Amino acid sequence: MSFNLKIVSIIFSLFIIVLILALLKKNKINIKYSIVWIILFLLLQILIIIPGVLSFITRCLGFQTGSNMVISIIIALLIVINIVLTMIVSNQDKKIRLLIQEISILKNKMDDDRNE
């Protein structure tokens, strides 16, 4: 990896980490989700700073090039993140449905009390 590419990659990953921390500070993102992204970009920092680590992991996992391994790992992570987010949305949908039902019951009780 060229020196300029390393510098750009480090700056980009630091920017993402700062962005995640800013979102965390403004309560726009939950802590448990921000930790995943921060760890991911810190690992990216390690792979950029110590180039031998990527080559070693690539050989151990049987990939021919580091880029193939990185793309495969990114696709796998995106699939896992997508599944987790789908679970969260499903859970939120159940909670919203329950809240709507509870509010409807309370409205009916209030209407019954007014009519009596």
Q: For residue 103, what pLDDT is reported?
A: 96
- If asked whether residues 5 and 42 sit together in one domain, one would say yes
17-34 in b/e burial notation, b at 16+ Cβ within 10 A? beebeeebeeeebeeebb
Tens place of pLDDT for every residue, the chain, 116 residues? 678 888 888 899 999 999 999 999 999 988 888 888 898 889 888 888 887 888 888 899 998 887 788 888 889 988 988 998 899 999 999 999 999 999 999 999 998 888 77
pTM (whole model) above 0.75: no
Residue 44 lies in a domain: yes
Q: For residue 95, what pLDDT is reported?
A: 96
Residue 40 lies in a domain: yes
- If asked whether residues 72 and 99 sit together in one domain, one would say yes
Q: What is the residue range of 24's domain?
A: 1-49
